[in-house]
């Protein structure tokens, strides 16, 4: 889903002061339950549009989903009263909680929920390729029926995914769609906290009056947008923020023994997200399979996790995290195999160690982006590792990684913060659809592989675990071993830097629901 080295503190103190200087963060009650929370994050929420920016809504509390992903790979009802029932191979029945409303007071009944879901099926590029031909109807006052064109096992995961079915008041939203600045006042969302103001610098939220799903515990929630990683950490140290999101891993060592901030992260062996190496096989040297295989074998995945990232990452041994029963261990550091593959393909080493063929150097442009501070650190390490087998890696940082990757040329690979499970960590299929099938919204490399697409269709209809594991095994053989469409570089134990009063805060084990614990 969404990770520049630390700048010298002297160069960013002003940023911390201008980007975060307001009233003190934390509890406003002087020792009682926490009533206020300030979060500093690198990604700015530009507007409240459900299609353009809707994935921030559940993370920061102003949106609620039909289902909630929780620890242990489970889903719980959120806006629904119960888990969805599959009443036929292609039919799902969804029963809403009674007496739901949007933040503007409009009724959130079956008709409103069906309208929001129908809008997503028509307009949302994330969900369209996953449920082609699906239809949603209101079959009762609080009952919605979802009908899919084919049996689709991952429907519950989609209902719990931040990017798929944002539940908003579409009757109010649609007339304002081209005027996003008016969406704050429109209060179209259905979460426990309501956005009261949104500027390029910050978003403020207050408890939603009369919210019936759960009781909001905070009286004030502030999310500040601070691009620089060190400035976010300084904000915590200076008492201007309670949580700093997306800190660089190097902060763990720098904060050891300090009393003004603490580095928190998920436990070892549990990381399910991190950095993927997105490849562009349409042009340049990576259009050649032997070159992609050499790139895969030239990377030292264990070194990335244990040395480069100071043991704060889990090693990526394959496409999926090692703790999953269907994970294949098919990413191995084998520099001799990498060199042999390049030799066989006619790439010869020059005096500087870089290989060339027919006068063309083995040059690869590798993209990173500043919002995820560890991306460049990993890219620099990969650059050094691949130089040893003959690659000339040029690192280019871009401010908008998604826009850059949508261009078919100008890049060969990218270090991208993402995971191979979906946002809920319950579904291994939809990320493959998104990244490696035609029409997938993250298929930046333009992969079109009939066998892979066919496997995905089988997986979508499979409910038997043994069959699923067998099919996923073949998917991993294609993506990593045989055709090398993408790689997992390192698995990040999601971190945060917290104020001392939050040293017992648990980093969300799944889904990054940052305010759910308050």
Q: Where are the alpha helices (DSSP H) in 88-179?
A: 110-123, 155-159, 170-173
Question: Is 50 exceeded by the pLDDT of residue 53?
Answer: yes
pLDDT at 398 over 80: yes
Contact criterion met (CB below 8 Å) for 60 and 205 = yes
**Mean pLDDT score, 67-89:** 94
- What percentage of the chain's residues is helix, strand, coil (to nearest 5)? 30, 20, 50
Global pTM reads 0.81
With a cut of 60, say whether residue 27 has pLDDT above it. Answer: no
18 pLDDT above the threshold of 50: no
**Calpha distance 218→32 (Å, rounded):** 12
Provide the pLDDT for residue 357: 98
Classify the phi-psi angles of 86: left when phi > 0, otherwise alpha if psi is within -120 to 50, otherwise beta.
beta
Cα separations (Å) of 357 from 117, 178, 345? 53, 51, 9
| pLDDT at 192 (0 to 100) | 98
Contact by Cβ (8 Å): 376, 404: no
Query: What is the CB-side half-sphere exposure of residue 455 using CA atoms within 13 A?
Result: 25
| Banded model confidence at residue 298, pLDDT cuts 50, 70, 90 | very high
How far is 99 from 91, CA to CA, in rounded Å? 25
Mean pLDDT, rounded, for 411-426: 93
Name which residue leads in pLDDT, 32 or 237: 237
Which residue is associated with the tokens 């290989």? 355
* Distance, CA of 339 to CA of 431 (rounded, Å): 31
pLDDT band, very low/low/confident/very high, at 71 (cuts 50, 70, 90): confident
Distance of alpha carbon 321 from alpha carbon 324, whole angstroms: 6
Confidence at 57, pLDDT banded by 50, 70, 90: very high
What percentage of the chain reaches a pLDDT higher than 90?
A: 85
> In the β-sheet with 36-41, what is the strand arrangement from edge to edge?
193-198, 202-207, 220-225, 36-41, 243-245, 495-498, 262-265
> Under 8 Å CB-to-CB from 40, ≥6 apart: which residues?
19, 20, 224, 226, 231, 232, 235, 236, 240, 241, 243, 244, 245
Q: Quote the pLDDT of residue 440.
A: 92
Average of per-residue pLDDT values in the chain: 92
> Dihedral sign, CA of 282, 283, 284, 289?
positive
Are the C-beta atoms of 36 and 219 separated by less than 8 Å? yes
- The DSSP bridge pattern shows strands 36-41 and 220-225 to be parallel
Please tell me the distance from the alpha carbon of residue 58 to that of residue 39, in angstroms, as a whole number.
15
Say if 9-48+185-268+495-502 and 67-172 have the same CATH topology: yes
Report d(CA 469, CA 478) in Å as an integer.
14
The reported pLDDT for the residue numbered 26 is 58
Name the pLDDT band for 517 (thresholds 50, 70, 90): confident
Write the burial class of residue 47 (CB in 10 Å: 0-12 exposed, 13-18 middle, 19+ buried).
middle
Nearest-angstrom CA–CA distance, 73 and 422: 11
CA 315-154-490 angle, 5° bins:
10
Tell me which residue has tokens 């763990």. 252
- Position 330 confidence tier, pLDDT thresholds 50, 70, 90: very high
Residues 6+ apart with CB under 8 A from 468: 326, 459, 462
Band the pLDDT of 455: cuts 50, 70, 90: very high
Joined tokens for residue 312: 């704060």
- Token pair, residue 504, equals 């017992």
Average pLDDT over residues 294-316: 97
Residue with tokens 């469409």: 485
User: The tokens of 269 are what?
Assistant: 């062996």
Q: Does residue 12 have a pLDDT over 50?
A: no
Residue 329 DSSP one-character state: -
- pLDDT at res. 20: 39
Q: Are 235 and 244 in contact (CB under 8 A)?
A: yes
Residue matched to tokens 């929630």? 221
Strands 360-361 and 273-279: unpaired
Residue 14, pLDDT > 90, answer no
| Domain 9-48+185-268+495-502 class, CATH top level | alpha beta
Rounded to the nearest 5 degrees, what angle is found at the Cα of 195, between the Cα atoms of 191 and 198?
145
Q: What CATH number does domain 273-492 carry, 3.40.50.1860, 3.40.630.30, 3.40.190.10, 3.10.105.10?
A: 3.10.105.10
On the question of pLDDT at 228 being above 80, the answer is yes
| Mean pLDDT confidence for 113-121 | 99
Minimum mean pLDDT range among 66-75, 158-167, 169-178, 509-518: 509-518
CA distances from 202 to 193, 205, 229, 311, 360 (A): 15, 10, 16, 33, 48
Going through 369-517 in order, the beta strands assigned E by DSSP cover: 392-397, 413-419, 486-492, 495-498
Query: In the chain, where are the structural domains located?
Result: 9-48+185-268+495-502, 67-172, 273-492
Q: CA–CA distance from 341 to each of 296, 314, 418 (Å)? A: 11, 28, 29
Predicted confidence band of residue 509 (pLDDT cuts 50, 70, 90): confident
Burial 370-404 (b: 16+ CB within 10 A, else e): bbbbbbbbbbbbbbebbeebbbbbebeebeebeeb
Please name the CATH architecture into which domain 67-172 falls. Answer: 3-Layer(aba) Sandwich (3.40)
372 confidence band (pLDDT: 50, 70, 90): confident
């Amino acid at each position: 889903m969404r990770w520049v080295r630390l700048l010298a503190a002297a160069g960013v103190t002003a940023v911390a002061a201008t980007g975060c200087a307001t009233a003190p963060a934390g509890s406003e009650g002087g020792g009682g339950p926490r009533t206020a929370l300030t979060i500093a994050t690198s990604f700015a929420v530009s507007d409240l549009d459900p299609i353009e920016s809707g994935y921030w809504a559940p993370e920061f509390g102003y949106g609620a989903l039909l289902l909630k992903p929780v620890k242990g790979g489970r889903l719980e009802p959120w806006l629904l009263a119960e888990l969805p029932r599959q009443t036929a191979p292609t039919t799902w029945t969804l029963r809403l909680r009674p007496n739901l409303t949007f933040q503007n007071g409009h009724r959130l009944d079956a008709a409103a929920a069906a309208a929001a879901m129908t809008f997503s099926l028509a307009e949302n590029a994330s969900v369209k390729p996953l449920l082609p031909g699906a239809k949603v109807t209101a079959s009762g006052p609080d009952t919605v029926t979802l009908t899919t064109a084919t049996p689709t096992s991952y429907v519950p995961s989609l209902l719990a995914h931040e990017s798929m079915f944002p539940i908003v008041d579409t009757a109010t939203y649609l007339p304002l769609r081209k005027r996003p600045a008016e969406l704050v006042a429109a209060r179209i969302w259905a979460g426990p906290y309501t956005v009261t103001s949104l500027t390029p610098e910050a978003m403020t939220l207050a408890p939603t009056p009369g919210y019936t799903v759960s009781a909001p515990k905070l009286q004030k929630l502030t999310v500040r947008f601070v691009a620089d990683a060190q400035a976010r950490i300084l904000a915590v140290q200076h008492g201007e923020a309670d949580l700093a999101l997306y800190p660089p891993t190097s902060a763990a060592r720098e904060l050891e023994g300090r009393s003004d901030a603490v580095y928190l992260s998920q436990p070892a062996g549990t990381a399910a997200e991190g950095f993927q190496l997105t490849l562009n096989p349409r042009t340049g040297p990576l259009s050649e399979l032997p070159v992609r295989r050499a790139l895969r074998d030239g990377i030292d995945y264990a070194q990335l996790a244990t040395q480069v990232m100071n043991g704060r990452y889990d090693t990526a041994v394959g496409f999926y995290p090692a703790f999953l029963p269907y994970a294949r261990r098919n990413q191995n550091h084998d520099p001799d195999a990498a060199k042999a593959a390049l030799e066989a393909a006619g790439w010869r080493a020059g005096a500087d160690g870089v290989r060339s063929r027919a006068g063309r150097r083995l040059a690869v442009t590798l993209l990173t982006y500043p919002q995820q501070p560890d991306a460049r650190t990993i890219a620099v390490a990969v650059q050094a590792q691949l130089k040893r087998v003959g690659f000339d890696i040029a690192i280019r940082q871009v401010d908008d990684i998604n826009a850059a990757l949508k261009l078919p040329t100008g890049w060969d690979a990218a270090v991208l913060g993402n995971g191979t499970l979906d946002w809920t960590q319950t579904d291994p299929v939809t990320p493959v659809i998104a990244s490696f099938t035609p029409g997938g919204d993250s298929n930046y490399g333009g992969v079109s592989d009939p066998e892979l697409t066919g496997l995905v269709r089988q997986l979508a209809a499979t409910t038997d675990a043994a069959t699923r594991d067998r099919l996923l095994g073949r998917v991993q053989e294609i993506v990593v071993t045989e055709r090398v469409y993408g790689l997992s570089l390192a698995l990040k134990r999601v971190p945060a830097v917290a104020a001392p009063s939050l040293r017992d805060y648990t980093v969300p084990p799944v889904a990054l629901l940052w305010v759910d614990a308050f």
